[in-house]
Structure 1
Amino acid sequence: MPLDLDDLRRAPDIEGPDLRAWDAADRLILDESAAARVGIDPGQIVVIGDTHGALALGAAADSRDSAVGGAGGGAVRAVGGAIRAHQDALLGERALIANAERLGLAGRVTSHPLDGALVRDARIVLMRLPRALDQLRDTAALIAAHAAPDVAVYAGGRVKHMALAMNDVLSERFDAIDVSHARQKSRVLIARGPYDGHDPEPRRATHAGLVVCAYGGVFAGTSIDIGTRLLLENLPDRIAGARADAAIDLACGSGVVAAALARQHPDLRVYACDQSAAAVASARATAEANGVADRVRVERDDALSALPDASASFITLNPPFHAGAAIHEGLGPRLFADAARVLRPGGELWTVFNSPLQYRPALERLVGPTRQIARNPKFTVTASTRR
Structure 2
Amino acid sequence: MTFPFDALRRRPDVEAPGLVAFDAADRLLLDESAMLRAELGPGELVVIGDSYGALGLAAAFDGATGIRVHQDSLTGERALAANAEELQLADRVQSMPLGAELVQGARVVLLRLPRSLDELRDIAAVLAAYAPDNVVVFAGGRLKHMSLTMNDVLRSFFDTLDVTHARQKSRVLIAQGPRRGPAPEPAAGEVDGLAVRAFGGAFAGTRLDIGTRMLLTHLPDRPAGGTVDDPWIDLACGTGIVAARLAVQHPDASVYATDQSSIAVASARATAAANGVADRIEVVRDDALQQRASASASFIALNPPFHSGGAVTDQVAPRLFADAGRVLRPGGELWAVWNSPLGFRPALERLVGPTRQVARDTKFTVTVSTKR
- Decide: shared fold, TM above 0.5: yes
Map residues 241-256 of structure 1 onto 2, 5 A cutoff.
242-244=226-228, 245-256=230-241
How far residue 246 of structure 1 moved from its aligned partner, in angstroms, is 2.5
Aligned partner letter, 1:249: D
In the alignment, the residues of structure 1 paired with residue 206 and residue 34 of structure 2 have an alpha-carbon distance, to the nearest angstrom, of 38
Output aligned runs, 1:302-313, within 5 Å: 302-313=287-298
- Give yes or no for the alignment of 1:37 onto 2:43: no
Distance in 2 (alpha carbons) for counterparts of 1:39 and 1:196: 25
CA distance in 2, matches of 1:240, 1:214: 29
Secondary structure (helix, strand or coil) at the match of 1:297 reads: strand
Q: Find the residue that maps to 2:91 and give its secondary structure.
A: coil
Displacement of 1:241 after TM fit? Answer: 5.1
Give the alignment of 1:76-225 within 5 angstroms.
82-225=66-209
- Contact 1:143–1:197 under 8 Å retained in 2: no
Aligned to 1:15: 15
Distance in 2, matches of 1:205 and 1:45, equals 36
Flag structure 1 segments of 5+ consecutive residues without an equivalent: 65-80
Which of 333, 336, 347 is 2:318 aligned to? 333
User: RMSD across aligned C-alpha pairs, in angstroms?
Assistant: 1.1
Q: Does 1:386 align with 2:361?
A: no
Distance in 1 (CA, whole Å) between partners of 2:236 and 2:224 is: 22
Q: CA deviation at 1:296?
A: 0.2
Cα deviations by residue, 1:218-257 (Å, 9 ceiling, x for unpaired): 1111111000111111111121355443210000000000
Are the aligned partners of 1:319 and 1:331 in contact in 2 as well (CA < 8 Å)?
yes
Please state whether the residue corresponding to 1:143 is helix, strand or coil.
Answer: helix
Identical-pair percentage: 65
2:218 corresponds to: 234
The superposition leaves residues 255-304 of structure 1 with CA deviations (integer Å, 9 ceiling, x where unpaired) of 00000111122211000000000100000000000111000000000100
Provide the rounded CA distance (Å) in 1 between the counterparts of 2:263 and 2:225. Answer: 32
Residue number among 345, 356, 366 corresponding to 2:330 in the alignment: 345
Q: Structure 1's 241 and 48: CA in aligned 2 closer, same or farther, altered over 3 A?
A: closer
Residue-by-residue CA offset, 1:36-90 (whole Å, 9 max, x unaligned): 11120140110000000001111111125xxxxxxxxxxxxxxxx5100000000
Larger radius of gyration: 1
Q: Does the Cα contact within 8 Å between 1:243 and 1:313 map onto a contact in 2?
A: no
Distance in 2 of aligned mates of 1:269 and 1:194: 43
Q: SS at the partner of 1:63?
A: coil
1:88-139 Cα distance to aligned partner (Å, 9 max, x none)? 0001001111111110111100010011110012110001000000000010
**Which is further off, 174-183 or 376-385?**
376-385
Aligned positions, number:
371
What CA distance in whole angstroms lies between the structure 2 residues aligned with 1:142 and 1:240? 42
The question of whether the paired residues in 2 share the 8 Å contact of 1:42 and 1:63 is answered with: no
Note if contact 1:86-1:111 (Cα within 8 Å) is conserved in structure 2.
yes
Match of 2:301 among 300, 316, 321: 316
Normalised to the residue count of structure 1, the TM-score between the two structures is 0.94
The yes-or-no answer on 1:365 pairing with 2:350 is: yes
CA shift for structure 1 position 197: 2.9
What is the identity, as a one-letter code, of the residue corresponding to 1:362?
A
Q: Could you list the per-position Cα deviations for residues 305-337 of structure 1 after superposition, in whole angstroms to 9, with x for gaps in the alignment?
A: 001010000000000111122221111111001
Comparing 370-379 and 226-235, the one that deviates more: 370-379
